[in-house]
C-alpha cells in the first residue's frame, strides 16, 4: 500500500491543501504537479498515483488557493499569477522540495513557464508541459479557429455571446458544452476513475477573474501572459505533451517545442485536454522514461 500524506500549509492567512504520494527512493527526485483552471483541483492527477508504486517516485500535488480543499471565494484580489506562483514557492519551502521535476497541465503549465522564465528557480531537474500554452493571445486565436468546425448555429451563438458579453443564452451554453466535449474532456460516468467522480469544489471565481468566461475569451488577470520571447532561454530539459484533439493544439505544442532548446514533443493523437487520463498507460510509461533519464 502506497503511503499517502495529506496536510495544509498556511498561506496568506488561509490554507493550501497538499497530498504527497509515496516516498523518495534512491536518486529519484519528486514530481510536483500543477493543476489546471485556474480553479480546477488536483483530483485528476490521482490517476498518476501508480507512478509512486511502479517507479518508486514521490508525487506532490496540491489544490491551489481558491479551489478544492483550499477553497476560497469572495477574494478577487487574489486571483492572479503572483498569488499562485508565490504559493508554489512557499510550498517548496514548506515541504523541503529542493530538487524536483515539475509538471504543469493547462493553466498549471502557464504557471510553470511564468515561474521558470520570470523567477529563475533553482533545483528543477526537468519540466513537463502538458497541454499548455506560452501566451494567452495564442490560446484565444487557436480556440476561435477550432470554433469554426462547429455547426454554423453554434458558431453564431458563440459570436453573439462574445460580442454582447451575455453568456446566459441556452444556445451559447449548448455550443460551449459541445466545444469542450470535443476538445477538453468527455462526460464523467460511472466508469470514470473515482478521482474524477468525487464531488469537488471548483474555483469558479478564480477561473472567471483569472482567465475569463470561457476558454476562448482570455480577458482576466492572466490576459497579458506571454513568455514566447523567453522560451529560448529555458535551460532545463523540457517535455511537451498534447493531444490531437486538445485545446492545446499541435500548433501551440510545436511552437513551444521549436523554441525551447533542450525539448522533446510527444503527441497523443487521439486524446483531448487530459492525455494522462485518456491514455493513462502510455502517459505513465512516458513519465517513467523521461523522469529516470533526467534525475
List strands edge to edge, sheet with 14-21. 4-11, 14-21, 59-63, 31-34, 100-105, 124-130, 238-243, 263-268
Catalytic status, residue 273: yes
Bridge partners (DSSP) of residue 60 are: 20, 32
CB 19 within 8 A of CB 191: no
Q: Which three cell numbers stand for residue 233?
A: 532561454
Catalytic residue of the set 70, 106, 130, 131: 106
User: CA 98, CA 70: separation in Å to the nearest integer?
Assistant: 23
Catalytic status, residue 246: yes
User: CA 30, CA 59: separation in Å to the nearest integer?
Assistant: 6
User: CA 25, CA 56: separation in Å to the nearest integer?
Assistant: 6
Catalytic status, residue 14: no
**Nearest alpha carbon to residue 32 among 107, 118, 91:** 91
User: CA 105, CA 99: separation in Å to the nearest integer?
Assistant: 20
Buried b (16+ CB within 10 A) or exposed e, 46-75: bbbbbbbeebebbbbbbbbbbbbbbbbeee
User: CA 157, CA 295: separation in Å to the nearest integer?
Assistant: 49
Length, in residues, of the chain:
295
Q: Please identify every residue annotated as catalytic.
A: 106, 246, 273
Amino acid at each position: 500500500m502506497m503511503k499517502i500524506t495529506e496536510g495544509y500549509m498556511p498561506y496568506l492567512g488561509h490554507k493550501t491543501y497538499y497530498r504527497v504520494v509515496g516516498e523518495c527512493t534512491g536518486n529519484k527526485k519528486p514530481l510536483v504537479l500543477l493543476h489546471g483552471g485556474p480553479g480546477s483541483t488536483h483530483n485528476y492527477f490521482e490517476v498518476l498515483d501508480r507512478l509512486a508504486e511502479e517507479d518508486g517516485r514521490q508525487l506532490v500535488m496540491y489544490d491551489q488557493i481558491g479551489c478544492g480543499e483550499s477553497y476560497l471565494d469572495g477574494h478577487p484580489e487574489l486571483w492572479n499569477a503572483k498569488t499562485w506562483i508565490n504559493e508554489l514557492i512557499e510550498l517548496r519551502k514548506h515541504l523541503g522540495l529542493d530538487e524536483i521535476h515539475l509538471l504543469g497541465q493547462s493553466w498549471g503549465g502557464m504557471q510553470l513557464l511564468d515561474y521558470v522564465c520570470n523567477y529563475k528557480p533553482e533545483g528543477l531537474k526537468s519540466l513537463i508541459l502538458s497541454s499548455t500554452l506560452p501566451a494567452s493571445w495564442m490560446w484565444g486565436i487557436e480556440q476561435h479557429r477550432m470554433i469554426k468546425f462547429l455547426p454554423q448555429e453554434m458558431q453564431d451563438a458563440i459570436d453573439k455571446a462574445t460580442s454582447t458579453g451575455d453568456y446566459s443564452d441556452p444556445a451559447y451554453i449548448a455550443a460551449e458544452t459541445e466545444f469542450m466535449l470535443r476538445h477538453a474532456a468527455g462526460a464523467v460516468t460511472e466508469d470514470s476513475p473515482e478521482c474524477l467522480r468525487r464531488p469537488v469544489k471548483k474555483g469558479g471565481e478564480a477561473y472567471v477573474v483569472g482567465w475569463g468566461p470561457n476558454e476562448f475569451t482570455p480577458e482576466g488577470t492572466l490576459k497579458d501572459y506571454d513568455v514566447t520571447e523567453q522560451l529560448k532561454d529555458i535551460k532545463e530539459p523540457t517535455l511537451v505533451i498534447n493531444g490531437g484533439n486538445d485545446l492545446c493544439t499541435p500548433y501551440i505544442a510545436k511552437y513551444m517545442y521549436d523554441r525551447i532548446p533542450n525539448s522533446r514533443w510527444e503527441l497523443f493523437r487521439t486524446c483531448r485536454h487530459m492525455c494522462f487520463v485518456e491514455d493513462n498507460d502510455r502517459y505513465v510509461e512516458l513519465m517513467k522514461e523521461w523522469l529516470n533519464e533526467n534525475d
